[in-house]
């Protein structure tokens, strides 16, 4: 039995509900094409444990773990195009945020400050952040301390509360939070934005046959274009898909290498 997992953008609750509704619509089209598809998303498995399951029909991963460890082990289906500030087609950046009341005005002002990251495996919260800071690091250091929060929303909270001074927040997460949970954003402001790179791709198992992969791409286009799903896609700020390949995602690996070339292998 195949399963589906879409656990990368699941907050605030309005986004989680729309994600479930999107799968209901997408799954129905998949079944109409004669393929097996679950009725609902699997919410029992941890997001990163879903990626390498041999029966994964449809999932979503972060671009950084894709280039680090998933290449050749999963297949790229498509990259979603979101209509939020910081997005440019299939590309997106992270926003460098600080406390709304802070006096930080430039990158250099952040030297010696306290950073928050969601996790080291994140593209938006770590890879893009490190690439942004690397040219300014000295002897592999820039910040006085670094805390790991476990997620973008906790990172936002850490900046708003004063627990940390700066974080790098995925622009889609920031946009969703601004739309549906504005009070959480009220205590922070955007200082800068990182370079853009390809967004979080939809994936399927390496064993998914080519003809089924083609169907997945077709039904994605049809589901997003269907006027009956317009309210769902609007809630998700989902505008379409782009068919990127492995070479496109190499840009994220290159950012990783560039940071290392500056003597900045980890945020510190």
Q: What is the pLDDT of residue 80?
A: 98
Distance between start and end Cα atoms, the chain? 44
Whole-number Å distance between alpha carbons of 122 and 112: 23
Q: In what order do the strands lie in the sheet with 202-205?
A: 3-5, 56-60, 202-205, 74-82, 238-242
| Token reading at 82 | 């979101």
Q: Within its chain, how far is the Cα of 255 from the centroid?
A: 16
Q: What is the pLDDT of residue 47?
A: 85
Tokens of 53: 């399951």
Give every CB contact of residue 268 below 8 A, 6+ residues apart in sequence: 137, 140, 141, 142, 143, 146
Alpha helices in the chain (DSSP H): 13-32, 47-50, 63-65, 128-133, 152-161, 171-180, 182-185, 210-225, 230-236, 246-261
Rounded to whole angstroms, how far apart are CA atoms 62 and 178?
21
Token representation of residue 258: 């560039």
Nearest to 4 by CA among 155, 248, 205, 179: 205
Q: Write the DSSP string, 30-98.
A: HHHTT----SS---SS-HHHHTT-TTEEEEE--HHHIIIIITTTEEEEEEEEE-STTEETTEE-EEEEE
pLDDT of residue 134: 98
- pLDDT for the residue 1: 79
Give the integer Cα–Cα distance in Å for 91 and 75. Answer: 19
* CA–CA gap between residue 6 and residue 16 (Å, rounded): 9
- Rounded to the nearest angstrom, the gap between the alpha carbon of residue 135 and the centroid of all alpha carbons in its chain is 24
Structure-block tokens of residue 181: 């949970």
pLDDT at 79: 98
The SS3 of residue 252 is helix
Tell me what pLDDT residue 193 has.
98
Query: Which residue ranges form the domains of the chain, and what is each CATH number?
Result: 3-84+198-248 (3.40.190.180), 91-197+254-261 (3.40.190.10)
Do 201 and 77 form a contact (C-beta atoms < 8 A)? yes
Q: What is the pLDDT along the chain (268 residues), one digit of tens a residue?
A: 799 999 999 999 999 999 999 999 999 999 999 999 999 999 999 888 999 999 999 999 999 999 999 999 999 999 999 999 999 999 999 999 999 999 999 999 999 999 999 999 999 999 999 999 999 999 999 999 999 999 999 999 999 999 999 999 999 999 999 999 999 999 999 999 999 999 999 999 999 999 999 999 999 999 999 999 999 999 999 999 999 999 999 999 999 999 999 999 999 9
Q: How far apart are CA 53 and CA 55, in angstroms?
A: 6
């Amino acid at each position: 039995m195949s399963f589906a997992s879409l656990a990368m953008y699941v907050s605030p609750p309005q986004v989680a509900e729309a994600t479930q509704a999107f799968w209901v619509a997408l799954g129905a089209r998949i079944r109409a094409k004669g393929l097996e598809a679950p009725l609902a998303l699997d919410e029992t498995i941890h997001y990163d444990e879903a990626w390498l399951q041999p029966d994964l029909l449809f999932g979503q991963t972060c671009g950084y773990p894709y280039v680090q460890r998933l290449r050749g082990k999963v297949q790229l289906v498509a990259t979603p195009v979101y209509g939020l500030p910081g997005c440019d087609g299939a590309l997106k950046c992270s926003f460098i945020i600080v406390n709304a009341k802070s006096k930080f005005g430039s990158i250099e002002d952040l030297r010696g400050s306290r950073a928050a990251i969601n996790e080291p495996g994140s593209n938006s919260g770590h890879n893009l952040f490190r690439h942004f800071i690397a040219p300014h690091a000295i002897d592999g250091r820039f910040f006085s301390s670094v805390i790991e929060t476990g997620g973008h929303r906790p990172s936002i909270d850490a900046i708003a509360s004063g627990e940390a001074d700066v974080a790098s927040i995925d622009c889609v997460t920031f946009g969703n939070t601004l739309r549906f949970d504005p009070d959480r954003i009220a205590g922070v402001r955007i200082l800068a934005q990182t370079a853009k790179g390809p967004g979080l791709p939809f994936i399927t198992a390496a064993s998914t046959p080519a003809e089924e992969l083609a169907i997945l791409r077709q039904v994605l286009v049809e589901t997003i274009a269907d006027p009956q799903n317009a309210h769902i896609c609007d809630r998700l700020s989902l505008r379409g898909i782009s068919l990127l390949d492995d070479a496109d995602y190499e840009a994220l690996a290159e950012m990783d290498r560039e940071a290392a070339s500056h003597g900045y292998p980890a945020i510190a």
